[in-house]
Structure 1
Amino acid sequence: MNWDQIEGKWKQLRGKAKEQWGKLTDDELDQMAGKRDQLVGKVQERYGLAKEEAEREVDAWGRRH
């Protein structure tokens, strides 16, 4: 699924994002509304990952959904 589709289906997919990255709050997930760059930034911040690693995780998650 591409990120335009993810943004469009964010309300359905945010639960799966919460399962993957439980440290993200519901408010954060609502605010990012499926925007890839914001999700990468929050994953990087909450989990202490390098930007490249966070991008890989988010992209892999996006491909699965």
Structure 2
Amino acid sequence: MNWDQIEGKWEQAKGKVKEKWGQLTDDDLTQINGKRDQLAGKIQERYGYTKERAEEEMREWERDTRW
């Protein structure tokens, strides 16, 4: 699934995001509101990842998540 689809279905995607990155809060997900760059930033902040690692995890998640 590409990010435009994820952004369009953000309410449904939030649950899957929480499954993958459980340290993200509901407030984080509301603030992110489907914006890919904001999700990457929150993953970096909560997990202490580099930008590259956050981006790689997001690419894997996009590729592997079933809807």
TM class by shorter chain equals over 0.9
User: 1:64 Cα deviation (Å)?
Assistant: 2.0
The whole-number CA distance in structure 2 between the counterparts of 1:60 and 1:33 is 20
Identity, in percent, stands at 66
Q: In structure 2, what is the Cα distance between the partners aligned to 1:64 and 1:26? A: 23
Give the alignment's TM-score, normalised by structure 2. Answer: 0.90
- Unmatched 5+ stretches in structure 2: none
Deviations 1:4-48 (A, max 9, x none): 100001101100100111110001101111111001000011100
What number of residue pairs does the alignment pair up? 65
CA distance in 1, matches of 2:59, 2:20: 12
Residue 44 of structure 2 is matched in structure 1 by: 44
Separation in 2 of the partners of 1:38 and 1:4?
14
Under a length normalisation based on structure 1, what TM-score does the superposition of the two structures give?
Answer: 0.93
Large movers: runs of 4+ above 6 Å: none
Name the SS for the 2:23 alignment partner: coil
Tell me the distance in 1 between the aligned counterparts of 2:64 and 2:9: 14
- Show the counterpart of 1:60: 60
Deviation at 1:60, TM superposition (A): 1.0
